[in-house]
Structure 1
Amino acid sequence: MEPITIRKAEGSDLATVQQIGRETFFETFAAANTEADMQKYLRENFSDANVSAELSNPDSEFFIALEGEAPVGYLKINTGQAQTEPQGETALEIERIYVKNAYHGKKVGQLLYEQALTIARKQNKTRLWLGVWEENPKAIRFYEKNGFVAFDKHIFQFGDDAQTDILMKKELAD
């Protein structure tokens, strides 16, 4: 395995973000959801219009993890109005850490998380936060290992299925 590098995504990375997003979302959640709900979600949420809007939002940033030239995952962070739940100007949301299954256990997710932490500190944020599906124990353990604690819940509507996300936060020391 070549070393993993991380670079900031740009508008020209639309197809890369879509491909990683669709592949990793399907790998992670297809077995626990209906085919119809999965296809609808992938079609709508990773459409050209939707991903282009996300990439061009000044309050969101994407970072792509690469092994050599091959994209293996990405990070999406949000501040200000781009946050999926209002958490204030001193918070940074980790909306997505998506890593291809073949790269689980190879520290790619950890590198992407550390990128988010570095940015939060550079921007003088006092809190990192995220939402994680209650049926994703692997991700919950990952965030707990990195110092996150649950503080609330919200409903994530996935097609006809109302799913519960656990909201987790990590307070950042000065």
Structure 2
Amino acid sequence: MPVIRTATPGDAAPLSRLAEATFRGTFGAANTSENMDRHCCTSYGEAIQSGEIADPRMLTLLCDGNEGLVGFAQLRWDGAPDCVAAASPGQIQRLYVADAWHGKGIAQNLMRACIREMEARGSDVIWLGVWEHNPRAIAFYRKCGFVEVGDHVFPLGNDPQRDIVMARSIAGSSSNIGPRRRTSGGRP
């Protein structure tokens, strides 16, 4: 079974490849190649991943299998949209699993690791943005206890897309995750 671990600087190159491959695999068929290329160039390059691994406001978790990385999650602690009412919110910025590993418990294990990290760092609410046309991810997040609290615009290249903002309280937290309101921001 693959192991979940914290990314190190040496993981930037394989993480970059996995991040781009999973993003393209998830969203490529529904978007233009120009918009996909533009987004991938500004979000998943090796230098970008290296910077995100080093960023103290972020944590990158990797799911490492025998043949390399099979999934990852990236967490952020630098604010939240207005629709997420929390004293100390944390964001799941990205959570992706390689196609060959779908349905094998990797996403659930990554989500459990995300929740543990959020709780350990004092977050009271976890939030994320998910494309409105990604029913599989929406169903997964609902199964994990997330509810819709708002939406925001995610610019994919030159195409403004609607992301649903979902949130859930951390176990033991009494935080209200807030009413549904439109916000600005985006799906990385």
Q: TM-score, normalised by structure 1?
A: 0.92
Task: Write out aligned runs for 1:158-169 (5 A).
Answer: 158-169=156-167
Number of residue pairs matched? 170
1:105 aligns to what?
103
User: Which structure: greater helix fraction?
Assistant: 1
Q: Aligned to 2:141, which of 140, 143, 164?
A: 143
2:40 aligns to what?
42
Computed over aligned residues only, the root mean square deviation of the Cα atoms, in angstroms, reads 1.5
SS at match of 1:115: helix
Per-residue CA deviations over 1:38-94 (Å, capped at 9, x if unaligned) read 111112211233222211110101011012252101110011x2x564766611110
The 3 A distance-change label for structure 1 pair 84 and 55 is: farther
**2:42 aligned with 1:61, yes or no?**
no
**1:162, 1:32 → 2: CA distance?**
13
Deviates more, 1:15-24 or 1:117-126: 117-126
SS at match of 1:128: strand
In structure 2, what residue type is equivalent to 1:124? Answer: G
Deviates more, 1:42-51 or 1:147-156: 42-51
Task: Write out aligned runs for 1:1-174 (5 A).
Answer: 3-79=1-77, 81=78, 83=79, 85=81, 90-174=88-172
SS at match of 2:23: helix
Deviates more, 1:20-29 or 1:123-132: 123-132
Gaps of 5+ in 2: 173-188
**1:124, 1:142 → 2: CA distance?**
24
In structure 1, what residue type is equivalent to 2:29? Answer: A
After TM superposition, the runs of 4+ consecutive aligned structure 1 residues lying more than 6 A away are none
Deviation at 1:9, TM superposition (A): 0.1
SS at match of 1:20: helix
**1:84, 1:118 → 2: CA distance?**
19
Contact kept in structure 1, 2:131 and 2:164, CA below 8 Å: yes
Gaps of 5+ in 1: none
Deviates more, 1:62-71 or 1:153-162: 62-71
